[in-house]
Structure 1
Amino acid sequence: MSDTPDTNTSTPTTTTTTNYYGAVVNMHDGRENIGINNYRPVVDATAHDNDLRATVEELVRLLGELRPHLTPDQDRAVDRVLPVLTADPAALPERGGLVLGRLAQIAAAVGAVGQPAAEAVNRLLALLGA
């Protein structure tokens, strides 16, 4: 009998697949069990749209004030981004992530002068749920 492990034997590996089909509720006894509340609170869409539009308008204004501090490449990038921002603020969730990310980079690159624009970008991202 030897104290060294046998390296010729291998342990079989098993893989498992886990499928998720949604929430599972197991109720055992109790009274007046009503399950899971999957409803989200109702949000006033008009107020949200107004906040979104106001924040976009503020960001456009701040970008206008920031332009004298931008390099020519940054200025061209802002020119390319403005139509995306102003065309339809409600469509920003689908296509605005990269646009807002670019604006945040530009605002951060110019330092303290760009801080208000960076804050407006962050507010806009928060409104979009990003």
Structure 2
Amino acid sequence: MSEGTGHHYGSNVHGGDNVNIYGGSHINGIVKHQAPAPGLTEALARLEQLVGELRAQVEPGSARVLDSSLPAITSDATAPATRRDALVAVATIAATVGALGQPVVDAVTQVLALLGIG
């Protein structure tokens, strides 16, 4: 490296995964097993409880949306975009019932923040 120029000669700056695959078959790519964010398990359990309470206060169509959204929200296998969509659907329904739904909206906001997909 030449002093004062900020150039790096012959070095690589790398952040993240680097995978080189040469030939082969049945390649699965990178499999990562990451622990949930601290507090996520508790936040999801609280959200699930609140949604259960809210379910009894909304119309049948909204209750069905809540029911179909919960598995996507609570499963670690759900793609982030799908999980976010399900969380937004729940928050939207909660917002329609006013003050009664505010704890659900707050819980969704917390889960989105913990997931980093808000």
Q: Note whether the superposition's TM-score is higher than 0.5.
A: yes
Is the counterpart of residue 56 in structure 1 residue 57 in structure 2?
no
For residues 123 and 92 of structure 1, do their structure 2 counterparts lie closer, same or farther at Cα, with a shift above 3 Å needed? Answer: farther
- Alignment partner for residue 4 of structure 2, among 29, 49, 69? 29
Confirm or deny: 8 A CA contact 2:94 2:102 kept in the other structure: yes
Is the counterpart of residue 119 in structure 1 residue 106 in structure 2?
yes
What is the CA-CA distance between 1:73 and the residue it aligns to? 0.9
Confirm or deny: 8 A CA contact 2:95 2:101 kept in the other structure: yes
5 Å matches for 1:36-115? 46=35, 48=37, 50-86=38-74, 88-89=75-76, 91=78, 93-115=80-102
What is the CA-CA distance between 1:125 and the residue it aligns to? 0.7
CA distance in 2, matches of 1:56, 1:107: 16
The structure richer in helix per residue is 1
Confirm or deny: 8 A CA contact 2:70 2:86 kept in the other structure: no
Provide the secondary structure at the position in 1 that maps to 2:109: helix
What is the CA-CA distance between 1:38 and the residue it aligns to? 7.9
Instruction: Give the percent of matched residue pairs that are identical in Structure 1 and Structure 2.
Output: 35
For residues 92 and 125 of structure 1, do their structure 2 counterparts lie closer, same or farther at Cα, with a shift above 3 Å needed? Answer: farther
Gaps of 5+ in 2: 17-33
TM-score, structure 2 normalization: 0.65
Gaps of 5+ in 1: 1-26
CA distance in 1, matches of 2:64, 2:14: 46
Question: What residue identity is the alignment partner of 1:116?
Answer: P
Alignment coverage as a number of residue pairs: 95
TM-score, structure 1 normalization: 0.60
Confirm or deny: 8 A CA contact 1:56 1:89 kept in the other structure: no
